[in-house]
Amino acid sequence: MTPDSPLVSTEWLAEHLDAPDVRIADASWYLPQAERDAKAEYRSAHIPRAVFFDIDELSDEKCGLPHMLPPAAKFASRMRRLGLGDGNLIVVYDGVGIYSSPRAWWMLRAMGHEDAVVLDGGLPKWRREGRPLEYLIPNPYRRHFTPRPNHALVRNFEQMLANLKSRNEQVIDARGGPRFRGEEEEPRPGVERGHIPGSKNVPYLEIVEEDGSLKSSEALARIFRLRDIDWRKPVVTTCGSGITAAIDLLALTVLGAKNGGLYDGSWAEWGGRADAPKERA
């Protein structure tokens, strides 16, 4: 039943809400300044049968960087508890529209679960259309999740450093322009301003509509072309801490990119390392 696109519409989900092989996960996550409690919002209302995919709890708490991919065994264990596993098509959504759900989509695929899609427009669109909501917390049956880490989707610091010489991969930074250019102080202590040398800036807000849905393929293609980015060639996305980089990667995948990865440490790691070269302006 896996759709051809990494996106599904609210209409599609409504039609498949009770399908036995479809599972739904609320992957909402917010920056502190948003002053929103993702768990509390989930408990108050969610799409029927949705479980809560906690991006921070599903991280490697020992590495010192924000919400990094956890060890495969931990991820598999948490998925089993949530009833998300082998043979499931997992639909992820968030409370903004398209913001943190692409991170969950990428995490699932990085752990080898290709049958994952993002709900276009997320919970806000679902609500606007008057579709059903649920208030009870589901108690899902455990389901076996077999982790098969897909290293082609993940980049580490050493790979990004090597790419500065080889230029084998295009690097796209999803942060806003002022942060990319180093005009704003970084929110994390000890992190310098700027960007990875040679990277190109495609702020995630430019590829998402005001209503929280992803822009059309035509609009996305135009945006990437304006930055001289060829999605048919290898590309890696980055951002502040690996959340919004997944939005750019989702957009590239919608356009047909096959050789895309995400730098998990992103600027939280690169900007915090004295041995990482940095550019401004």
CA 262, 249, 6, 119 torsion: positive or negative?
Answer: positive
> Is-catalytic flag, 239?
yes
Distance between CA 159 and CA 127 in Å, rounded? 42
- Within the chain, residue ranges assigned H as helices are 10-15, 38-44, 72-82, 101-110, 122-128, 157-166, 177-180, 217-226, 245-254, 266-270
Backbone angles phi, psi at 6, to 5 degrees: -75, 0
Bridge partners (DSSP) listed for residue 51: 25
Catalytic residue among 104, 239, 257, 268: 239
Which are the contacts of 169, defined by CB distance < 8 A and separation ≥ 6?
163, 234, 235, 236, 261
Cβ burial 207-231 (10 Å sphere, 16+ → b, else e):
bbeeebbbbeeeebbebbeeeebeb
Going by C-alpha positions, the residue among 30, 77, 32 that lies closest to residue 55 is: 30
Contact between residue 256 and residue 230 where contact means Cβ atoms under 8 Å apart: no
Active-site residue set: 239
